[in-house]
Structure 1
Amino acid sequence: MRILLLGGTGEARALAELLVAAGIDVVSSLAGRTADARLPAGEVRTGGFGGADGLAAWLRAHPVDAVIDATHPFAATMTAHAAAATRETAVPLLVLRRPGWTPGPHDNWHWADSPSAAADLLPTLGSRPFLTIGRQGLNAFAPTSATTGELGSAGRGLWMLARCVEAPEPRPAWCRLILARGPFAVADELVLLREHRIDVLVTKDSGGPATSAKLEAARQLRLPVVVIRRPPLPADLATVESVDQAVQWVIRPT
């Protein structure tokens, strides 16, 4: 059996390891946006396919028994391309998406449909936000015109702290930028929030434990949290929420 695994997440690496250990031929495809990406077990290809048509052409040239989309929950374009290409080539597709986060009874969460909608909420919630949405979408929080105020004023009187795995290009001058990769500890997140006097947290609904410590830290400090909703999946896709479920789907009786 040969599987094309659209990866880049921790779940994708764990799935590749289990499938390779089970004797299954796995080709993991990485977008190549992160310079020091952790490579999974098995064969690895890097770079895009050239849209849905390019992926369909790759599937015809490199036949596989199934495609598993284990990309980030916000990689909506890649998922749409995978759905279209597998429909065209009649290759089975499974989407592995870890569950999203859910607020606790005392959490003060505010949901937004996009980074720009999240940016619009900030002035009503605080003046020193911590942006933890990655480098894509960060520009939605940038100033619309040159400002002469303090760092990160963004024309709204806000001071902004942002954390990314890698710096955006060009590197933003309107916020203070931290480069770090999870997992993060609650104690460290508490120190960070207190040190920078953060009064509102902004995050995507990525789910998973690697970056969830910030939510617990915000909960302990009673901070409001702006959560950007996940993009919806294409209709009628087979989906699972765990690596074990994905393994069972691959080895299911035929």
Structure 2
Amino acid sequence: MRRVLILGGTAEARDLAARLSGVPGVHVVSSLAGRVTDPRLPAGDVRVGGFGGPDGLAAWLREHRIDRAVDATHPFAERMSASAAKASQLAGVPLLALRRPGWREGDGDGWRRVPSLGEAAAVLPDGARAFLTTGRRSIPVFAARTGVWFLARSVDPPEPPVPSNVCVLLSRGPYTVDGERALIREHRLDVLVTKDSGGAMTRAKLTAAREARLPVIMVDRPPVPGGVETTSDVAAAARWAQG
């Protein structure tokens, strides 16, 4: 029996779990961080919660006799990816990073790429009405810009108190271009702040921003830890996991 651990609850992680769960001789376990209420559960066995850092993850890999691990976490889950890379070395378990491709700027787009959330907050002009789609944990970084009003979209509520210049919109993708157009009009938004997460589920906001001629502040994703093999192809990841 080949035992495979999939880290992450992304669409790619669920796709990979579905491909592997029906393969004879393969036992797949998906690990979710537990930060999202009512997550979409993948096929196969599921565990929820942290491991206690790279040492804890390495111990778990050994205890459960994992043969191969796939880091299919969100492209911005930098700490978990670093922990997975270290744990794979400690436990001697091969690791593959499964990453969806990032977004690319096209004709009519007006993007400004920045290296961090802090830089994204710093470059916002005073008086802006910003569509903030960088996750609830990033809200404190931006709320310090008291001269900017934010529509912050999030799957789960942020930790209180919510600053007065932030309006929270609780919503889960996928989103449509029509829906994003309506948000831009209704809230008179004039700039989009987002992370280069990639994928089709939340791309509609970029199309709507292009049509409305909204500038986009795009936070670049962190690199995959050095020495870790990487693919953007779920089918290739499934073949790799089967050895």
Percent of counterpart pairs with the same letter? 54
Aligned to 1:136, what secondary structure does the other structure show?
helix
Q: In structure 2, what is the equivalent of residue 163 of structure 1?
A: 153
- Alignment deviations for residues 155-203 of structure 1 (CA, whole Å, 9 cap, x no partner): 22x2211100001112413301100000000011001111111000000
Q: In structure 2, what is the equivalent of residue 134 of structure 1?
A: 135
CA distance in 1: counterparts of 2:202 and 2:228, whole angstroms:
27
Matches within 5 A, 1:178-189: 178-189=169-180
Structure 2 gap ranges (5+): none
Q: Are positions 1:2 and 2:7 aligned together?
A: no
Q: In structure 1, what is the equivalent of residue 163 of structure 2?
A: 173
Q: In structure 2, what is the equivalent of residue 150 of structure 1?
A: none
Q: Following TM superposition, by how much is the alpha carbon of 1:220 offset from its aligned partner in structure 2, in angstroms?
A: 0.6
| 1:9/1:72 contact within 8 Å kept | yes
Q: Are positions 1:19 and 2:9 aligned together?
A: no
Among 184, 201, 206, the residue aligned to 2:192: 201
| 1:115/1:138 contact within 8 Å kept | no
Q: In structure 2, what is the equivalent of residue 243 of structure 1?
A: 234
Q: TM-score, normalised to structure 1's length?
A: 0.92
Q: In structure 1, what is the equivalent of residue 89 of structure 2?
A: 87
Aligned length: 240
Q: Segments of 4+ in structure 1 off by > 2 A?
A: none
Paired amino acid for 2:84? A
Q: In structure 2, what is the equivalent of residue 47 of structure 1?
A: 49
| 1:5/1:12 contact within 8 Å kept | yes
Structure 1 gap ranges (5+): 144-153
CA distance in 1: counterparts of 2:146 and 2:169, whole angstroms:
21
CA distance in 2: counterparts of 1:234 and 1:10, whole angstroms:
21
CA distance in 2: counterparts of 1:171 and 1:101, whole angstroms:
33
CA distance in 1: counterparts of 2:203 and 2:146, whole angstroms:
30
CA distance in 1: counterparts of 2:224 and 2:11, whole angstroms:
20
Among 192, 196, 216, the residue aligned to 1:225: 216
Aligned to 1:137, what secondary structure does the other structure show?
helix
Paired amino acid for 1:179? L
| 2:69/2:241 contact within 8 Å kept | no
